[in-house]
Structure 1
Amino acid sequence: MKAHGLRFAFGTLSVLPVRVERWDRPSAGRAMLAAPLVGAVLGALAGGLGALLAWRGSALLGAVAAVAALAVLTRGLHLDGLADVADGLGSGKPAEDALRIMKQSDIGPFGVLTLVLVLFAQVACLAGQFAHSPARGALAVLTAAVAGRCALGWGCLRSVPPARPGGLGAMVAATVAPAQALAVTALGALLLTVLHPRYALALVLGQLAAALLLRRCVQRFDGITGDVLGALVETSATGALVCLALWA
């Protein structure tokens, strides 16, 4: 049963060739709890690439490579969700109309602006970390990737309903107990504390940033969608990176 959750997590949250054998809500709930593990794997791959290019090239090149690698390894899934949520929130329309806007294939001005600013922020924060040392930059990438996936558990709490039927959002919505989300986040923070307390603090503050967005989305859309979950990932990851930048 746990293996099905892991396959669900890696198969839906990454481009890694993992076959999803069970597509049901129990597996979806376990997948959201296993999501930080996906973040750790993707963060290690992207961080390693960034460190290599920062060592051989420049800190800025390493930062761009790491951000690009995470986008490629996730098919741009979370960035797409962030852009759609920005368009939905920025429209100022009622929930039904905002959800329709989010479902459209094109990206509006709010989405474009949000993507540009978030990606610039991520690159700027990581460039500072890679400038300090390639290893510190790689750890920052790892922290951001894990923090972003921890936010998925909080977004799928049993008290948070789906905004519409169908789709990945409805499949995973309301599948995680608060104690489970807290345990996963606490475990992630504990493991990062071994590296340095700043990484654990960054993870926690990343969850707070995502919580603010989650609250706003539930108010506006009456629940979550797959796009909202993607936006939570990017918001939490960016919040963690800003925390690390300010710590430095």
Structure 2
Amino acid sequence: MTMRTTIITAVLLSLAAALTPPARPPLKARITSAWRARADADPKFRQKLALEAALACALQTTAEVQRRGRAFGREADYVVAGVLTALAGKLVASFQAAPSTQGAAATNAFQPDVPLHARVGAVVRPMPRLFGVGFAAAALGYGLTDCLTRLRDLCGIAVVAPPRVPILGAAVYTGFFVALVSNGSYQILQGLVERGWWGDRRALLFVGRAGRSLMASALAIRGMQMSGLQAVTLAPPR
């Protein structure tokens, strides 16, 4: 009886150990480790990320001006939400696709000396995380816009507010956009363009990053409008 009990106990403990997920380091430690791995792989990583943040804000605003025209002022809530969403999504996508010294998994589809399945994994693996970031950023941005609009109504502030955006639909759209479009464009920019013949030409790299950001911003706005998630109101007659 004692032997049987010992065997059963050992089997149950083995099953429990097999079914228990391995302990993971705290989130802060994982982020710090990933940051150091990317900074070690690319000495200019910090400067590139800072440039990406500046471009995200400036070019998203430029794209908003181009797409909204004279309705820009009356749709400023949309602009703020769009800029914040673009900033969060682009920074995370850029960070995810950057070269890394952590050799456990490829981070870029064009990373040399890795098998095909690792290249595919570099594109597919971060998609759930990027979707979550885009979803959360859009939900926060457009949720804030909606709260401000309702607050104006409660306070009786007479302003012409833009039509309300369906927050869930906008968040889902943005999540997919970041996971697919932003992810893919950064894979090409950081894995192919920056490692190509113009990798040491700062001016061309700036143009490439600026063009990528402006194109992505314009596509994001146009997609929101074509899908009916954002309706651009016509300017009132003068």
Scaled to the shorter chain, the TM-score interval is 0.3 to 0.5
Based on CA coordinates, which of the two structures has the bigger radius of gyration?
A: 2
TM-score calculated relative to the size of structure 1:
0.39
More helix by share: 1
